[in-house]
Structure 1
């Protein structure tokens, strides 16, 4: 079987001009170099050097083999560079994201990641926070950009954004009481919500319970876009990221309901597990942090 040591010896002889010079360049002995060439010729079934010439000259088969050996040695160099430098990573990297990430910063994030990791193969999947956390723990993804407190100590976590939240109502819902409204007054409206696996919904439930109200959700869905559409249609009120929907407020389609106490902020984290891809994940996490303010 042809080995890289044989290929390296063959290439070194051609580059250095003799067996002795090749041995010196590779830090070995001339007999060791000669042995490698004999083995290589035996493996291939052809003579590569004309030993009668001084210095040894390539045969026709040697000339044919030379560019292939150069490619093999260049590939070895690339392999070493890939292993040494995470920026050379050319494999798949799976990122779980929320719908909010997809709607706001995803194009900018992918552009930045590709600038740092030009050979990476990215795959993104939109899910709710609880599912994103579970995918990481089950190793079905390599990274998640998710809201809420991260799960236990198996993951690296870095806060990348802190979102201001606001209760919102559509113009067609009718007049609102003068605010700010306490939780009890808010709970009298039909409450629209994301499903329980949502980080945003966890904030809703905790805030209502802390203020003496049991969440009475009228309609739940797992899409922020659908939730805003139902709110605009006047089907109820919903808690949503303030900055993302300010254009709808400016157009009059939505109204902000101020509350007392104010709603807590929702922190977003980039999360990744301890794995063989930590160096690559660290680069991606830096770019997530760079675009994080765009979440709101």
Structure 2
């Protein structure tokens, strides 16, 4: 009935009549792509909704959904819980990213040549880290140095400084690639893909979750079409 009441308020009084606080959890990748656009849309279309943003890794965001400290999570999903709704957002493949003055000017390298350099990627507890580790293991490259990092900004900074090769979605560094500060390397191997969802648990006391998740889905779709 609370959810129905929110729908009735929106239908009769308009979006500006909806109010409340939403705890929004977001993956670092979303922060570096289209989260700011979502926040702007929400402030314009639902000015009385207050957001408290928590940036964290997917395992922690999933736990937050379970214990109720997070209302909506933009994470690598879907969340495998019977009471969770998962709206598909976007899928970003991992790319090999190097600094503009990387020692090899070729656009394509063999995986074993790339593996001679430190690989900088998401933290050890994440799906991309484990998938990359499996990729190198399948290629019998068991001594690769993989630097797990929970901060995407730090990964990008380390790549700028030439510390190693970043394994991250190229979407998060699109501006740096366009201006030539960073560049992509291809290896010919199929790369892991990071699928994101807007996930939430329907609760009678939080009818705004579906509204925020739906708007996130719309923003992600427009970002993909740019």
- SS of the equivalent of 1:219 reads strand
CA contact (8 A) 1:166 1:263 kept: yes
Structure of greater Rg: 1
Q: Which residue of 2 aligns with 1:106?
A: 35
* Pairs aligned (count): 216
Aligned pairs for 1:81-160 (under 5 A) are 84-85=8-9, 87=15, 88-160=17-89
Are positions 1:225 and 2:149 aligned together?
no
SS at match of 2:19: coil
**Residue 192 of structure 1, CA deviation:** 1.4
Contact 1:170 1:232 in 2 (8 A): yes
- Please state how far the C-alpha of 1:141 moved relative to its aligned partner: 0.6
Give how far 1:121 is off: 1.7
- In structure 2, what is the Cα distance between the partners aligned to 1:245 and 1:187? 22
Higher strand share: 2
- Tell me the distance in 1 between the aligned counterparts of 2:189 and 2:128: 17
Query: Could you tell me which residue of structure 1 aligns to residue 110 of structure 2?
Result: 181
Query: Contact 2:119–2:164 at 8 Å: present in 1 too?
Result: yes
TM-score norm. by structure 1 comes to: 0.63
Is contact 1:172-1:233 (8 Å) kept?
Answer: no
Instruction: Tell me how far apart the structure 2 counterparts of residues 290 and 270 of structure 1 sit (CA, whole Å).
Output: 11
Select the residue among 125, 129, 154 that pairs with 1:197.
125
Q: Provide the C-alpha distance between the structure 2 equivalents of 1:149 and 1:205, rounded to a whole number of angstroms.
A: 22
Deviation at 1:267, TM superposition (A): 1.1
Which structure shows the bigger proportion of residues in helix conformation? 1
Task: Note if 1:264 corresponds to 2:154.
Answer: no
**2:91 alignment counterpart:** 162
**Structure 1 segments unaligned to the other structure (5+ residues):** 1-79
Q: Is the 8 A contact 2:202 2:209 kept in 1?
A: no
- Assess, with a 3 A threshold, how the Cα gap between structure 1 residues 213 and 272 changes in structure 2: closer, same or farther: farther
The higher relative CO (CA closer than 8 Å, separation ≥ 6) is in: 2
Q: Secondary structure at the match of 1:173?
A: coil
What secondary structure, in the 3-state scheme, does the structure 1 residue paired with 2:32 have? helix
Q: Distance in 2 between matches of 1:259 and 1:148?
A: 27
Shift of 1:227: 0.4
How far is 1:218 from its partner?
4.7
Moved more, 103-112 or 229-238: 103-112
Listed as ranges, the gaps of 5+ residues in structure 2 are: none
TM-score (norm 2): 0.81
